[in-house]
Chains A and B, each alone.
Chain A
Amino acid sequence: MAQINEIEQHTLIALVEDKPGVLNRVASMFRRRGFNIISLAVGNSEQAGLSRMTFVVNGDYRTVSQVAKQLDKLIDVLEVADISEARIVARELAMIKVSTTPMTRGEIIQIVNLFRANIIDVGGDSMIIEITGEGDKIDALYDLLSPFGITEMSRSGIVAMERGKSNGLTDGHKNNNVHSNGTGSS
Chain B
Amino acid sequence: MELTGAEIVCESLLKEGADVIFGLPGGAVLPLYGALANYPKIRHILVRHEQAAAMAADGYARATGKAGVCVATSGPGATNLVTGIAAAQMDSVPMVAITGQVPRPYIGTDAFQETDVTGVTLPITKHNILVMKVEDVAQAIHDAFYIANSGRPGPVLVDIPRDVLLGAKTEFIWPETHKLPGYRIPGPADETEVIAAAALINQSQRPLIMAGHGMLISHAYSLMTEMAEKAQIPVITTLLGISSIASDHELNLGMSGMHGMAYANLAIDEADLIIGLGMRFDDRVTGRISAFAPNAKFVHVDIDASEIDKNVQTDIGVCGDLKSVMEQLLPKVEPNVHIDWLRHIQELKDQHPSHIVRQSEELLPQYVLQRLTEVTQGHGIVVTGVGQHQMWAAQHCLFREPNTFITSGGLGTMGFEVPAALGAQVGRPDTTVWSVCGDGGFQMTMCDIATAVESGADVKFAILNNKNLGMVHQLQDVFFEKDYMASEFSANPDFVKIAEAYGIRGIRVTKQEEVVDAVQQAMETAGPVIVDFMVKEDEIVFPFIPSGQSVNEMLEEPAHNGTS
Which residues of A are at the interface with B, using a C-beta cutoff of 8 A?
2, 16-17, 20-21, 24-25, 28-29, 32, 62, 65-66, 69-70, 72-78, 178-186
Contacts and interface: CB of A to CB of B under 8 A. Distances in A.
A113 B147 CA distance: 55
A76 B320 CA distance: 21
A72 B185 CA distance: 12
B309 A24 contact: no
Q: Which 10 A-B pairs have the closest CB atoms?
A: A182-B184, A69-B306, A78-B182, A181-B186, A75-B127, A183-B187, A179-B305, A186-B178, A77-B182, A32-B123
B122 A25 contact: yes
A26 B561 CA distance: 49
Nearest to A75: B127
B146 A181 contact: no
A186 B189 contact: no
16 contacts: A2-B289, A16-B182, A28-B122, A29-B123, A65-B309, A66-B310, A75-B182, A179-B308, A180-B184, A180-B186, A180-B305, A181-B319, A182-B184, A185-B180, A186-B146, A186-B180
Nearest to A183: B187
B111 to A, nearest CB: 19
Given A62-B309, A66-B309, A75-B147, A185 B122 contact: no
B479 interface: no
B184 A62 contact: no
Contacts of A65: 309
Interface string B174-197: 000110111111111110000000
A17 B182 contact: yes
Nearest to A32: B123
B298 to A, nearest CB: 14
A24 B188 contact: no
Contacts of A78: 181-182
Contact of B306 (A32, A66, A75, A183): A66
Nearest to A20: B130
Given A21-B118, A179-B319, A185 B184 contact: yes
B509 to A, nearest CB: 45
A69 B308 CA distance: 10
A65 B183 CA distance: 19
A49 to B, nearest CB: 9
A74 B182 contact: yes
Interface of A is mostly: mixed
Contact of B189 (A62, A181, A185): A181
A73 B308 CA distance: 13
B486 to A, nearest CB: 29
Given A66-B309, A75-B182, A186 B177 contact: yes
B119 interface: yes
A76 B123 contact: no
Given A21-B118, A21-B130, A75-B180, 18 more contacts: A20-B130, A24-B119, A24-B122, A32-B123, A65-B309, A66-B306, A72-B306, A73-B306, A78-B181, A178-B305, A179-B319, A180-B186, A181-B187, A181-B190, A182-B184, A182-B186, A185-B178, A186-B183
B309 A184 contact: no
Contacts of B305: 69, 72-73, 178-181
Contacts of B182: 16-17, 74-78, 185
B313 interface: yes
A29 B317 CA distance: 23
B181 A185 contact: yes
Contacts of A2: 289, 311
Nearest to A71: B306
Contacts of A17: 181-182
A74 B154 CA distance: 12
Contacts of A24: 119, 122
A72 to B, nearest CB: 7
B206 interface: no
A75 B126 contact: yes
A178 to B, nearest CB: 7
A55 B102 CA distance: 36
Contacts of B185: 182-183
Q: Which residue of A29, A73, A181, A182 has the most chain B CB atoms within 10 A of its CB atom?
A: A181
B537 interface: no
Q: Which residue of A17, A179, A182 has the most chain B CB atoms within 10 A of its CB atom?
A: A179
Nearest to B309: A62
Q: Which residue of B126, B188, B306, B320 has the most chain A CB atoms within 10 A of its CB atom?
A: B306
A29 to B, nearest CB: 8
B89 to A, nearest CB: 12
Contacts of B306: 66, 69-70, 72-73
Contact of A185 (B123, B183, B190, B289): B183
Contacts of B309: 62, 65-66
B304 interface: yes
A182 B320 CA distance: 9
Nearest to B324: A181
Interface string B272-314: 0000000000000000010000000000000011101111010
B320 A181 contact: yes
Nearest to A70: B306
B213 to A, nearest CB: 17
Interface string B103-133: 0000000000000001100110011001000
Nearest to B180: A185
Nearest to A31: B123
Contacts of A186: 146, 177-178, 180, 183
A186 B183 CA distance: 8
